[in-house]
Amino acid sequence: MVELAEEIAGPFAARMLADAGAETIKIEPPRGDAARRMAPFAEPSPHRETSTSWLAYNTSKRSVVLDLESASGRRVLRELVGLADVFVTDRTPRQLAELDLSPDDLRERHPRLIIAAVTPFGLVGSAAEWPSTPLTRAHASGSAAGVRRNLGANTGAPLMAGAKVHEADGGTALALATWSALIARERFGHGQIVDVASTEAMMNMDRVDISIAHNDGGPPARPPTKGGSAFGGRLECSDGHLIAVTPQSHQWAGLITAMGDPDWAYDSNGDLIDRLELGEDAADAIEQWASAHTRDEVFRALQTNSAPAGPVLRPSEVMDSEQMQVREFFDLLEHPVAESARYPQFAARWNGARRSARTPAPMLGSSSADVTRPFLAPWNPAQARRAGVIG
């Protein structure tokens, strides 16, 4: 597989395929993938090899630096793509045509090749060449609508989403579609063009906030000002926080049972009072109850009584949890520059098969000479490097 993509969406798709065992050659410009310059950085210091985004989205790959401004660099890229099973790219149709890698032309030259493209608005349509950023893509798809709900803004202008929000959605969709294309090639003998628009992939996730805003015609509702409410919400326990979701009557009854059936929740006939009638008084009592117990105690009491709840875990708690240890979800990878760190696996397991061994994100150009050597004639790798063709 050859990858010509930067930052998150395309590299994430290629990483999932690479982690599953695909030999992956990542093409980088002389300056390196833009993700190498994205903060935050791992220890020991900011460096092109220590960006956490770079490290996370580029495991199990080989880095080849090509100067695509040069005719020789473009020729080597075309040679590599012609030998690949899959070509992953995030370039627009115009950019691909400039490299003589137009998807339609590639299909004619290499009928078994799978061209897997993830672009902001897709390969076809009037918006195919529109410039965009991760922020504009998130808002163009509607995927950032939930920010208003989360931050409590129920009127006025929308709030800007965080950087890179939902960018991995396009990569997830592309990886899944590419696997499907590989299966189809085994059955029918030919490749195809896989065209994923990041904005469509974001919309396809159908996040609850987007559906609510679309179907009721209004902005997301303002959340309660207090951490908890008669509907649940964020609860502060003695040793951390927990989220409880109890909008339905049976869930409300479960919450009250978990609390030990306090008298204030029942009327003189012994019937449970509707949570809306209790309002903030109930919220205060719920918060007091939660604060007197540990997060685990509250979580188990609510779950036992069919009141949906989940602890708010720190990343270190997730990685150290017994469940993650049993599933062997995190790999400890040694990197020559960045400190050793644990990386999440592909989120699936296959019965009877172990996950493929992984390697850390590659050093810039670490495989340039080995991979390109057959295509450099009359140069050798050293001469090509001096000429600026490879790096």
**pLDDT of the residue at 206:** 60
- Are 41 and 148 found together in one domain? yes
The per-residue pLDDT of the chain, averaged, comes to 88
How much is the average pLDDT of 182-200? 96
How much is the average pLDDT of 70-80? 97
Q: How many domains does the chain have?
A: 2
How much is the average pLDDT of 252-271? 93
**pLDDT of the residue at 7:** 96
Phi, psi angle pair for 281, to nearest 5°: -60, -40
CA distance 134 to 9: 10
Q: What is the CATH number of the domain that holds 91?
A: 3.40.50.10540
For the cut 90, the answer to whether the pLDDT of residue 211 exceeds it is no
- Are 202 and 257 found together in one domain? no
Is 216 inside a domain boundary?
no
**pLDDT of the residue at 226:** 44
Question: Is residue 339 classed as helix, strand or coil in its secondary structure?
Answer: coil
Is 217 inside a domain boundary?
no
- Name which of 232, 240, 364 is nearest 291 in CA terms: 240
- Are 189 and 107 found together in one domain? yes
User: Do 116 and 181 touch, CB atoms closer than 8 A?
Assistant: yes
For the cut 90, the answer to whether the pLDDT of residue 80 exceeds it is yes
How much is the average pLDDT of 86-104? 97
Token look-up 């172990």 returns 354
Q: Label residue 138 by pLDDT band (50, 70, 90).
A: confident
- Are 239 and 333 found together in one domain? no
| 302: number of Cβ within 10 Å | 26
CA distance 244 to 299: 8
Which pair of structure tokens corresponds to residue 41?
């950085």
- Does pTM top 0.95 for this prediction? no
How much is the average pLDDT of 191-213? 79
**pLDDT of the residue at 345:** 87
Q: Label residue 227 by pLDDT band (50, 70, 90).
A: very low
Give me Rg for the CA atoms of the chain: 26
Residue % of the chain over a pLDDT of 90: 70
For the cut 90, the answer to whether the pLDDT of residue 14 exceeds it is yes
- Domain membership of residue 175 as a residue range: 2-208+326-386
| 87: number of Cβ within 10 Å | 26
- Are 258 and 352 found together in one domain? no
Is 159 inside a domain boundary?
yes
Q: Label residue 187 by pLDDT band (50, 70, 90).
A: very high
CA of 376: how far to CAs of 56, 106, 255, in Å? Answer: 31, 22, 69
Of 289, 314, 339, the residue at which a domain comes to its end is 314
